[in-house]
Amino acid sequence: FQVLSSLGYHVVTFDYRGWGDSIGSPSERGMTYDALHVFDWIKARSGDNPVYIWGHSLGTGVATNLVRRLCERETPPDALILESPFTNIREEARSHPFSIYRYFPGFDWFFLDPITTSGIKFANDENVKYISCSLLILHAEDDPVVPFHLGKKLYNIAATSRSFRDYKVQFVPFHTDLGYRHKYIYRSPELPRILREFLGKSEREHHH
């Protein structure tokens, strides 16, 4: 948030239901609904300014659910940024041994609550086929939580999807030597430039 803020962006974020200061219990539908509500709240107050959606980790599932719905109702955001995304929850679950989930916020309820297990998809790979806006994917090669190959696979699905044919789809890998793993991409000195170049197009269009 501080990196984005220092670049001049306003950042609005919220605790998922059941986490932090939010009441309730988490569900895929509920988290997506909350995100939609927040988007509409922002859109009502943002005037002509562009609005971007940023999802990280489990949040990429919420983000693509949200943006798919926004595109279906023809109110797409100006861009979607996915940091360390997976293809869908099943592939993510199959990708590495169970012990890793202790480090993945939110996965405790996914795995330990059998009632939710059956209903949770977070199908990024399916959602991208219904999304029409600029897409940027950021992934570290040494990510131990969401394997790099899942982010790359998601990019390949999006890049060949007809829904993106008029939009920029970009994949930015971060080399293992950098040590950014699952949650330190924000430390990249390149990030401001990457964002400026990616968002520049929609910003320029916006200012004319």
Q: Which residues are catalytic?
A: 57, 143, 182
Nearest to 54 by CA among 162, 201, 204, 194: 194
Enumerate the β-bridge partners of residue 136. 81, 170
Longest dimension (CA), the chain: 52
Residues 48, 12: Cα–Cα separation, whole Å = 17
**Residues sharing a CB contact under 8 Å with residue 89, sequence separation 6 or more, in sequence order:** 61, 110, 120, 121, 122, 123
Cβ–Cβ < 8 Å for 57, 123: no
The two three-digit tokens of residue 158, written as one number:
């999006």
Residues 138, 175: Cα–Cα separation, whole Å = 11
Residues 145, 171: Cα–Cα separation, whole Å = 18
Residues 140, 29: Cα–Cα separation, whole Å = 28
Nearest to 59 by CA among 26, 93, 90: 26
